[in-house]
Amino acid sequence: MQHMSKGVSRMFRRSFVPFLLAAVAMPAFAQEAAPQSDMDTIIVTGRAAGSEMRKAEASFAITTIDQQSLKVAPPISTADLFRRVPGFWVEGSGGEGSNNVRSRGIPTDGYSSVGLHENGIPVQYDGALGYLNPDQSFRIDDTIARVEAVRGGPASIFAPNAPGGVVNFITRKGTDTPDGAGSVRYTFTDTTAHRVDAWYGREIAPNVGLFVGGFYRQGDGMRDMGFTAEKGGQIRATLNYDDGVNSATLDVRHMDDRTPFYLPVPLTFDADGGIKQVSGFDALNDTLAGSNNKLVSIKNVGGPYEFDLTEGSHTKLTVITFEAKMRIMDGVRFETRNRYRTSDILRNALFPTGNVDTIANYQASLLSQAKAGGFSTATGIRLTYADDGTAVPSNANGNGLLVQGNLLSVSVPLDEMISDNRITADIANHALAVGVSYAHSQYRFDRYMGTTLLDVRGNARRVDATAVNASGVAVGRVTDNGFLRYGSLFDNVGMNTDSVAVYGGDEWQITPQIRVDAAARYEKLSFNGLVAGKTTVNLGDPTTLADNSVTTFSGAFTNVDESFSGFGWTLGANWQFQPNMGVFARYTDTFRLPSPGEWNGNPTRTDMAKVPIKMGEVGFKYGSEMLSLFVTGFWTKFERLTLTDWYFDNASNSYKSRIAIAGSETFGVEAEAMFRPFEWGDLAVALTWQDPQYKNFKYTDSAGKVWDFSGNQLMRVPKLGLRVTPGVNLFDDRLRAEAVIEHYTKRYPDIANTQVLPAYTLVGLNLRGQVTENIALGFNVSNLFNKLGLTEGNPRAGSFISGDLGAQYFLARPDFGRVIRASATVTF
The 10s digit of each residue's pLDDT in 783-816 is: 999 999 999 888 777 788 887 777 899 999 999 9
What SS3 state is found at 370? helix
Measured distance CA(141)–CA(213) in Å, rounded: 9
Measured distance CA(232)–CA(257) in Å, rounded: 4
Calculate the alpha carbon distances from 694 to 28, 116, 157, 164 in Å. Answer: 57, 26, 25, 17
Residue 22, pLDDT score: 44
Convert the pLDDT of each residue in 318-370 to its tens digit: 999 999 999 999 999 999 999 999 999 999 999 998 889 999 999 999 999 99
DSSP H or E run through 533: strand 514-537
Query: For 400-421, what is the mean pLDDT?
Result: 97
- Of how many residues is the chain composed? 828
Measured distance CA(185)–CA(197) in Å, rounded: 5
504 and 157 in contact (C-beta within 8 Å)? no
pLDDT classification of 24: cutoffs 50, 70, 90: very low
> Cβ of 304: how many Cβ atoms within 10 Å?
12
Convert the pLDDT of each residue in 419-446 to its tens digit: 999 999 999 999 999 999 999 999 999 9
Nearest CA among 465, 485, 483 for reference residue 475: 465
Nearest CA among 43, 256, 309, 263 for reference residue 139: 256
Residue 701, pLDDT score: 77
- The pLDDT of residue 455 is above 50: yes
Sign, CA dihedral 301-302-303-306, equals: negative
Nearest CA among 688, 733, 767, 696 for reference residue 90: 688
Measured distance CA(464)–CA(475) in Å, rounded: 14
Residue 15, pLDDT score: 42
For the ranges 223-237, 374-388, 664-678, 795-809, the lowest mean pLDDT is seen at 795-809
Phi first, then psi: give them for residue 176, nearest 5 degrees. -70, -25
In this structure, what is the dihedral angle of CA atoms 369, 371, 377, 381, given to the nearest 10 degrees? Answer: 10
Residue 31, pLDDT score: 41
- The pLDDT of residue 235 is above 70: yes
Query: For 261-277, what is the mean pLDDT?
Result: 93
Domain ranges of the chain: 2-827
- Computed on alpha carbons and rounded to an integer, the radius of gyration of the chain in Å comes to 27
Nearest 5°: CA angle at 75, between 285 and 12?
60
pLDDT classification of 83: cutoffs 50, 70, 90: very high
For the ranges 154-158, 442-446, 561-565, the lowest mean pLDDT is seen at 154-158
What SS3 state is found at 336? strand
Query: For 294-317, what is the mean pLDDT?
Result: 96
Measured in whole angstroms, the distance separating CA 660 from the mean position of its chain's CA atoms is 25
Residues sharing a CB contact under 8 Å with residue 224, sequence separation 6 or more, in sequence order: 1, 2, 285, 286, 287, 290, 458, 459
What is the phi-psi region of residue 692: left when phi exceeds 0, alpha when psi lies from -120 to 50, beta otherwise? beta
pLDDT classification of 13: cutoffs 50, 70, 90: very low
What's the chain's average pLDDT? 92
Question: What does DSSP assign to residue 34?
Answer: P
- The pLDDT of residue 591 is above 90: yes
Q: How many CA atoms lie within 13 A of 71 on its CB side?
A: 24
Written as one letter, the residue type at 27 is: P
650 and 656 in contact (C-beta within 8 Å)? no
Query: For 821-827, what is the mean pLDDT?
Result: 98
- The pLDDT of residue 646 is above 90: no
Residue 4, pLDDT score: 43
In this structure, what is the dihedral angle of CA atoms 114, 120, 123, 128, given to the nearest 10 degrees? Answer: 30
Calculate the alpha carbon distances from 249 to 53, 215, 238, 439, 736 in Å. Answer: 22, 21, 7, 20, 35
472 and 193 in contact (C-beta within 8 Å)? no
User: What is the three-state SS of 765-776?
Assistant: EEEEEECCCCEE
Phi first, then psi: give them for residue 653, nearest 5 degrees. 50, 50
What whole-number percentage of the chain has pLDDT above 90? 80
Measured distance CA(125)–CA(115) in Å, rounded: 8
Nearest CA among 766, 775, 765 for reference residue 186: 775
- The pLDDT of residue 601 is above 80: yes
Residue 819, pLDDT score: 96
| Sheet strand arrangement including 790-792 | 275-277, 265-269, 809-814, 790-792
**Strand extents, DSSP E, 456-610:** 463-468, 474-477, 483-509, 514-537, 550-578, 581-592
- The pLDDT of residue 506 is above 80: yes
165 and 87 in contact (C-beta within 8 Å)? yes
pLDDT classification of 37: cutoffs 50, 70, 90: low
- The pLDDT of residue 144 is above 60: yes
Please provide the DSSP assignment of 104-138 as one string. Answer: TT----TTSSEEEEETTEESSS-TTSSS--GGGG-
Query: For 563-579, what is the mean pLDDT?
Result: 96
Query: For 269-283, what is the mean pLDDT?
Result: 93
Measured distance CA(437)–CA(251) in Å, rounded: 19
Phi first, then psi: give them for residue 78, nearest 5 degrees. -60, -45
Q: Residue 112, class by beta-carbon neighbours within 10 Å (0-12 exposed, 13-18 middle, 19+ buried)?
A: buried
**Strand extents, DSSP E, 291-400:** 295-298, 305-308, 313-329, 332-358, 380-385
For the ranges 16-25, 36-45, 90-99, 103-112, the lowest mean pLDDT is seen at 16-25
- The pLDDT of residue 218 is above 60: yes
Measured distance CA(587)–CA(573) in Å, rounded: 10
Residue 792, pLDDT score: 85
Convert the pLDDT of each residue in 612-643 to its tens digit: 999 999 999 999 989 999 999 999 999 888 88
Q: How many CA atoms lie within 13 A of 520 on its CB side?
A: 3
Q: Which class does domain 2-827 fall in?
A: mainly beta
> Cβ of 176: how many Cβ atoms within 10 Å?
16
Phi first, then psi: give them for residue 68, nearest 5 degrees. -65, -40
784 and 810 in contact (C-beta within 8 Å)? no
Residue 8, pLDDT score: 42
Question: What does DSSP assign to residue 12?
Answer: I
Written as one letter, the residue type at 480 is: D
What whole-number percentage of the chain has pLDDT above 70? 95
Query: For 111-121, what is the mean pLDDT?
Result: 93
pLDDT classification of 740: cutoffs 50, 70, 90: very high
- The pLDDT of residue 171 is above 50: yes
